[in-house]
Structure 1
Amino acid sequence: MWFYLGHWLDRKGLVSLAESSYRNGGGSDGKSAAEASFRLSQLMLAKGCNREAADICEQALRLHPSHAKLWCALGAAHRRLAQMDAARAAYEHAVELDPGYAQAWCNIGEWLLVKGELSAALEKFQQALRLEPRLLEALNNRVAVLYELGRFADAEAAARLAIEIHPDKAALHVNLGNVLLHSAKARPAIKAFRKALECDPICAEAHLNLAMLLGETYRLAEALSFIEHDIAVKGESAQRLASLALAQYSKGDLPAAEATCKKTLVMQANNVSALITLASCNSARGDHHESIRLYQQAMAENPEMPAIYSNIAFNSTYVPDISPAEVFDYHREWAARFEKTVDKPAYSFEQGRQAGRPLRIGYVSGDFGTHPVGFLLRDVMRHHNRMEFSIHCYSMMRSSDDITVAIREHADSWVDALLMSDDELAERIHEDRIDILVDLSGHTAYNRLPVFVRKPAPVQATWIGYFHSTGLESIDYFITDPYTTPADSGQLFSETPVWLPHSRFCYSPPDYAPPVASSPVLERGNITFGCFNRAEKLVEPVIAAWALIIRTVPGSRLLLKASAFENPQVCDELRSRFIAHGLESERLELRGRSSHRDMLEQYGEVDIALDPFPFNGGMTTLEALWMGVPVVTLAGSGVVSRQTTSALANIGVTELIFDDLDGYIKGAAALASDVERLSRLRQEMRARMANSPLCQADQFTHDLEALYRRMWQAWCRGEKLGTEIVPGSPVARKTVLHVGCGGSDIRSLPQMFQRRWQEIRLDIDPQAKPDVVASMLDMAPIESASVDALYSSHNIEHLHPHEVEVALKEFKRVLKPNGVLVLTCPDLQSVCALVAADKLEDVAYESPSGPIAPIDILYGYRKAMAKGNLYMAHKTGFTARSLKRALVESGFETTIVEQDGHYNLWALAYPQAVEAKRVEEDRKLCFSKWLAEPVAQAFGKLQAVA
């Protein structure tokens, strides 16, 4: 009775009551008493009370010595107490008593697995599964032992079979994820770990593996601790050590990761994960030959993985002593392995060959975020002509940040494609009827080159994100520029190179970039050379050249900054390499990672930036130049070794480009000796750059779109573009007068003004640094009928009521006859509804400045006024009807005013009558996202057209 009661309570989840029942039921003769003791021992093991579990089993076995389950439970308790010999003896006795007891065979196999007797362990798991094919522990352990035997494909198949049998068991999905992770199949591994969390939302191992795969650095310490504890409890298996090495590498502890990888490879010479992690460690310290060798070894073990060979191709671009032809051969080998062997779908392109119709552009990348690609793409996205191009992003981002949000805001569609298979993503792109598909990753991490192999779009190109030909014939074009790829350079491409007129890069400096600092030599008295590029670029010829430069310039020092320098052992090793070339250790300073803003600020300590070779800086060069630091470069023959050359040519500082190593060394030393020239360059650099093609996003995007159009026209003719420079035509830029601009910039303007509009900033406050200091009551510096649009956001309520008509007439005066006024102000009707409900000081909504209450909307933002900003006081107010009347009385012939449901009014006003179609288009591009009312309904409210 006690046994059956305990069993019922146990099934109901009433474990404490079940435990009491089992205790009452044990300690006597009979089969049920033995079973009660066995169940009690299982509860104790689950609670971690291992000694008590052993005592229960031993006591029960004195009464029931032939009970196989009790012997098996005793073995489990002994094993957890680290009494390994006693555990095996108990398991084997259980099998002697009951040869058909699958759990006992499984436990013997687990014991053998811990001891490293892998073949014998596999045999025991197979025996257990013959007896009980659904036994969860045996299914899971079989996966583990197949992995430890290096039979990775068999391990994956066994893991998938186990999941078919038990689809809701988190442990099985974790095990599959581990096999995939350590077989270099990161994307399906992520999918497996996420599935584990669907089964068990608190599964620690799934969370921590995802943290490593998704780059969640804040959890890496926790991941390391978890894996180390797992090893301490379960012993050193190849899989656990490979996981530890990956976590150490992800955290930046390269020496520890390298040591763990070597230990793993002693245990299992073909461990793909350890080979890849060790290759990455070697790459990080500049030993790219060894890195390539290790990747090739991993490739031999897992020949079906494009990502491994992408790493080989990528690393070849760092190596200084192999020819451009050899580097190209590595990329062509990728294509030979994976482009020629894919069974390509026979896609038909039914979108038609109309040369002039709007085009659908698809961007594919894993770097739509705080990454060079994100910074280079952000302003291009903002300036795309939405009348001619719709933009579709296929993202492999693991997480989102501010740059991701900015890019996504300007995309017509956004597909999170990280977990989509190559076939699934190719099919989605084809279904989206993309006309031109653009790769922004090349052979870097999370690339989707296998999707491009399937040719889901009629025209395919590769642009920013990589610095070499991909090697693929299925990609039609490589977008470059005349300085990166001179016509006579002899650069090798599988694609057809096509040139933008100036640069392949469009730099958008971050808003938080500090002002340019004065030359540090003026304060320090000696020259500081610097480089903030990745440590992987510090190959031996670079170290030798830089050591010689520092030694040549008396009193100079070298400041290097990279995330790898967080680790003291990495720093010690790099110092020893410089010392070997005669540089005193005290003349070298190494700094680790910091925030992006802090990194930019630290350029204030650098007089001259030294560009590495053959792998030049890209974004790093642009950032150094923006911070006023001249960059000395050695121009090579390939794309990767001419990135800085292109940047310097575009800002007109070609004297810092050198064609040979001797000139590079002497040029850097000569620049260091001319402090006056250094100071002049520093003062000029940001203005040079801002006025160069590198920073003219509207013109750059216009030129890029012209190139896309020419690609499309060629396809419509059944042709391909030749290798010619696509001529750029000047952008016809309209002007928008931003009244009351404050501290904001063009990015705060409505979407309509985000592309090909020139912002003229006007404000009454000189501290806002406007283009024109003036009041909206008297905008005399602005000529009549001179601007295409005027944007005034929350300004008019700061006037006295009798001044409103004066300001509105000034707005109309400066607008061209076909111009438009976009105006916003508080909506007193919705605010007064709150006041009527006695919510005058309650928070109405949260703004970037803080909480806003009705009293702030009615009378001005109290927090700002308390600090002395009396411009914030409100002196009048409007309802939709009164604002419309004021606009009409001021001479605007067409007006529309709407409430956005968020305590604001939005108005469009035109000096002359305009068609409803234009008003509709302007409304879409200008009005707030809070205006959810369909456009068609809004036009029913166009009541007053004088």
Structure 2
Amino acid sequence: MKNFQENLNNAKNLHKSGKINKAINIYKKLLKFNNSDAQIYYLIGTAFLQKKNYVESINYLNQAISIRKDIPIYFNNLGIALSQLNQNEDALKNYKKALELKPDLIDAIINSGIAYKKLFKYKKAIKYFDKSLKIDPNNYLLLNNIGNLYKSLGDTEEAHKFYDRALKIKDDYCDSINNKAELYLQKKDFKKALVYFEKVIKINPKFTYALGKLIHTKKHLCDWSDYDLNLDKVLNGIKNKETVIEPFPMLSLIDDPDLQLKNAIIYNNLEFKKYNYEDNNLKSIKSDKIRIGYYGAEFFNHPVLQLTKDIFKSHDKSKFEMYGFFHGPVKDKMHFEIQKYFKKFFDINNNSIEEVVELSRSLKINIAINLTGHTADSKNSIYLSRVAPVQISFVGYSGTMGTNFMDYIIGDKFLIPKKNYKFYTEKILNMPNCFFPGPNKINVSEKKFSRKTVNLPEESFVFGSFNNSYKITPEIFTAWMSILKLTKKSVLWLLDNNQIATSNLINEAKRQGVEASRIIFAEKVYYDEHLKRFELMDLSLDTFPYNGHTTTSEAIRSGVPPITLAGNSFTSRVAGSLLNGIGLNELISTNIKEYISLACELASNKSKYQSIKKKLEENSKILFDSKKYTKDLENIYENLVI
């Protein structure tokens, strides 16, 4: 080939300018004339690494190393590609080789720390990061990675310090800005989180999932500025297969199971393509008892554990063995109390994926129950290589996970109508009644509450919604304001989730012509007291498209009729499932006009209201028969194994 060096220089320049595909094409042509040039294999491998095509990157970098075993950067880049596929042990071997050749190669030292962090070997990670800092104390990438390490350890203060140090060196470094925003969001400091997410969007409007997190933060604050504009950006982003919003915040934004599925698939393609895994098509090993593994972050005083604890208590121990696998952030009284109902209970927070898979297989788990799904502190990567032959999504995440490794989802015929099965990658397992579990008994405070003590007017009809503020949309709040305007002697009782949300809701009510005095906010109290004061509400107004789930169950238990708007998505049909389960379908509306009309009718028609309330009190126990619920669930489990 004439002008070999000229073509190589041209390819390198294209590569440097970001025209990677054109560079790769020239590199490959050059290989035809010199297939023993290690540098070209290295350049192609590095180009594929930049394109996040890690398999191809590994292929070319291995060929480069087969020709030249004395160049440290070859081993370093191979380690990066392997680590991106979560093959961190192999990555570390290559970083070690790179450091044997060049002991002060800063990239290999930093990358070793990252690999150890991924393996949850935090002490070793800190050792390598400290060594890196001594060589290059002003490396903002390194400082950000150390921040991430402390974030994983739950040390928020130290994490912020290192992010701030990174930003002092490079003030427009989006990763550190986004990481600070996420920490504030995690700590429910929504005001600060919003400031930092806005900074990210300003610098890079396409930064991975920043827009979705910005929207979700604003929803917590009931800040609906640019709501429709941002919604359009999300819809267009999903249409273009962009990483615009994570699956969970999408659930409260729009009632469209098709879009939720497409968005989940986009998320999974990003989140799980970095793992090199084998689905080994495990077969159940028969034994005297069916072995159920419950995997979750919620084994503490959390709604998921509150809902499921009676299941663990009621399982037939003569037929089933229960194993608990905990990967959450909190260990409280409930965390330790619940463990006695399991044959064995494991804390897998610091276990690698491979270790969890190996442990589960050694225990011969027949059915794995994923209690967390796409919510906080998930560990979904453990299901990729199968911790059990049968893997089920249950309770924690309200929608399809959009993966090929969750086999089933627990539902019921109302929750997921057959026409919607096509929007789920999982097969649907229907409970005979309502899918939503509920404890038989729950601790309710004996404290005496009156309308006066909670600032409610004695003679008014009390509409209420004790849902989280992020579930309140402009559409549903406008419906609530319409209800108040149509029922003069009434008030709306909401949770005081945060000061900014409260202020924004009051201002919005005024803007819509409703006096601020008609919106009353319930202060935060202990959970048992919250359940007790619930009884002072006359009618619970559900949110849409993300219904009240636990909140609706609490309303029913408290004898408060809830009305709901049932849509098409999982989240918008949970309250309807609960009401359908107790034969109160007359409280389920299918559009906003019907929802408003139903609320107004129950407020004005005392006879109908009392009839509904009586029916609710007579039928509600069905939802809290945890022994029957557990038996029905066990029947499903048995049919999957036998």
Is this a same-fold pair by TM over 0.5? yes
1:458 partner letter: P
Matched, 1:622 2:556: no
2:157 partner letter: L
Q: CA deviation at 1:671?
A: 0.6
Matched, 1:708 2:641: no
1:541 partner letter: E
CA distance in 2, matches of 1:244, 1:234: 16
1:732-789 Cα deviation digits (max 9, x unpaired): xxxxxxxxxxxxxxxxxxxxxxxxxxxxxxxxxxxxxxxxxxxxxxxxxxxxxxxxxx
**282, 296, 314: which one aligns with 1:365:** 296
Aligned to 2:582: 651
Aligned to 1:493: 424
Aligned to 2:626: 697
How many residues align? The count is 524
1:7-46 Cα deviation digits (max 9, x unpaired): xxxxxxxxxxxxxxxxxxxxxxxxxxxxxxxxxxxxxxxx
1:278 partner letter: L
1:326-366 Cα deviation digits (max 9, x unpaired): 22222233445556775333536475357xx3111011111
2:193 partner letter: A
**C-alpha contact 1:382 1:410 (8 A) present in aligned 2:** yes
**C-alpha contact 1:634 1:658 (8 A) present in aligned 2:** yes
1:680-727 Cα deviation digits (max 9, x unpaired): 6557745632x31x11111111111111000112xxxxxxxxxxxxxx
Indicate how the Cα distance of structure 1 residues 665 and 405 shifts in structure 2: closer, same or farther if over 3 A, else same. same
Matched, 1:477 2:442: no
**498, 512, 529: which one aligns with 2:444:** 512
Q: Secondary structure of 1:524's match?
A: coil
TM-score (norm 1): 0.49
**C-alpha contact 1:467 1:640 (8 A) present in aligned 2:** yes
**256, 259, 263: which one aligns with 1:326:** 259
**C-alpha contact 1:491 1:637 (8 A) present in aligned 2:** no
Indicate how the Cα distance of structure 1 residues 176 and 236 shifts in structure 2: closer, same or farther if over 3 A, else same. closer
**C-alpha contact 2:113 2:129 (8 A) present in aligned 1:** no
2:246 partner letter: I
Considering Cα pairs closer than 8 Å and 6+ residues apart, tell me whether 1 or 2 has the greater RCO.
2
Matched, 1:208 2:142: no
Q: Secondary structure of 1:369's match?
A: coil
Indicate how the Cα distance of structure 1 residues 264 and 334 shifts in structure 2: closer, same or farther if over 3 A, else same. closer
**C-alpha contact 2:141 2:166 (8 A) present in aligned 1:** no
1:290 partner letter: N
**C-alpha contact 1:253 1:567 (8 A) present in aligned 2:** no
Superposed, which structure 2 residues align to 1:143-542 within 5 Å? 166-167=127-128, 169=130, 179-180=144-145, 190=151, 193=153, 206=155, 208-209=157-158, 238=173, 242=178, 244-263=180-199, 278-284=214-220, 285=222, 287=227, 290=230, 312-320=246-254, 323-337=256-270, 342-345=275-278, 347=280, 349=282, 352-353=285-286, 357-487=288-418, 492-508=423-439, 509-514=441-446, 524-542=458-476
Q: CA deviation at 1:547?
A: 1.2
1:816-850 Cα deviation digits (max 9, x unpaired): xxxxxxxxxxxxxxxxxxxxxxxxxxxxxxxxxxx
Q: Secondary structure of 1:615's match?
A: coil
**C-alpha contact 1:292 1:312 (8 A) present in aligned 2:** no
1:326 partner letter: L
Indicate how the Cα distance of structure 1 residues 605 and 350 shifts in structure 2: closer, same or farther if over 3 A, else same. closer
1:534 partner letter: N
1:697 partner letter: S
Indicate how the Cα distance of structure 1 residues 585 and 663 shifts in structure 2: closer, same or farther if over 3 A, else same. same
TM-score (norm 2): 0.70
**C-alpha contact 1:245 1:258 (8 A) present in aligned 2:** yes
CA distance in 1, matches of 2:177, 2:496: 27
Q: CA deviation at 1:598?
A: 3.2
Q: CA RMSD in A?
A: 4.4
Q: CA deviation at 1:480?
A: 0.9
Aligned to 1:723: none
Aligned to 2:486: 552
Q: CA deviation at 1:596?
A: 1.6
1:312 partner letter: E
Indicate how the Cα distance of structure 1 residues 592 and 232 shifts in structure 2: closer, same or farther if over 3 A, else same. farther
**C-alpha contact 2:367 2:390 (8 A) present in aligned 1:** yes
1:48-93 Cα deviation digits (max 9, x unpaired): xxxxxxxxxxxxxxxxxxxxxxxxxxxxxxxxxxxxxxxxxxxxxx
Aligned to 2:42: none
Sequence identity of aligned pairs in percent?
21
CA distance in 2, matches of 1:599, 1:583: 26
Q: CA deviation at 1:574?
A: 2.9
Indicate how the Cα distance of structure 1 residues 341 and 289 shifts in structure 2: closer, same or farther if over 3 A, else same. farther
1:545 partner letter: A
Q: Secondary structure of 1:665's match?
A: helix
Q: CA deviation at 1:576?
A: 3.4
CA distance in 2, matches of 1:390, 1:266: 53
1:268-318 Cα deviation digits (max 9, x unpaired): 7777697675354234346497389589999x99x9xxxx78x52223322
Q: Which moved more, 1:430-439 or 1:479-488?
A: 479-488
**C-alpha contact 2:113 2:126 (8 A) present in aligned 1:** no
Q: CA deviation at 1:654?
A: 2.5
Q: Which moved more, 1:523-532 or 1:703-712?
A: 523-532
Indicate how the Cα distance of structure 1 residues 443 and 516 shifts in structure 2: closer, same or farther if over 3 A, else same. farther
Q: Secondary structure of 1:599's match?
A: helix
1:454 partner letter: S
Aligned to 1:940: none
Q: CA deviation at 1:390?
A: 0.6
Superposed, which structure 2 residues align to 1:773-812 within 5 Å? none
Q: Secondary structure of 1:326's match?
A: helix
Indicate how the Cα distance of structure 1 residues 474 and 268 shifts in structure 2: closer, same or farther if over 3 A, else same. closer
Higher radius of gyration, 1 or 2: 1
CA distance in 2, matches of 1:235, 1:469: 40
CA distance in 1, matches of 2:461, 2:211: 42
**C-alpha contact 2:445 2:531 (8 A) present in aligned 1:** yes
Indicate how the Cα distance of structure 1 residues 636 and 472 shifts in structure 2: closer, same or farther if over 3 A, else same. same
Q: Secondary structure of 2:246's match?
A: helix
Indicate how the Cα distance of structure 1 residues 170 and 558 shifts in structure 2: closer, same or farther if over 3 A, else same. farther
Indicate how the Cα distance of structure 1 residues 353 and 249 shifts in structure 2: closer, same or farther if over 3 A, else same. closer
Indicate how the Cα distance of structure 1 residues 164 and 331 shifts in structure 2: closer, same or farther if over 3 A, else same. closer
1:834-872 Cα deviation digits (max 9, x unpaired): xxxxxxxxxxxxxxxxxxxxxxxxxxxxxxxxxxxxxxx
CA distance in 2, matches of 1:233, 1:319: 36
**C-alpha contact 2:491 2:519 (8 A) present in aligned 1:** yes
CA distance in 1, matches of 2:583, 2:448: 19
Q: Which runs of 5+ in 1 are unaligned?
A: 1-129, 144-152, 195-205, 211-222, 714-946
Aligned to 2:499: 567
Q: Which runs of 5+ in 2 are unaligned?
A: 1-98
**C-alpha contact 1:178 1:189 (8 A) present in aligned 2:** no
**C-alpha contact 1:254 1:567 (8 A) present in aligned 2:** no
Q: CA deviation at 1:672?
A: 0.8
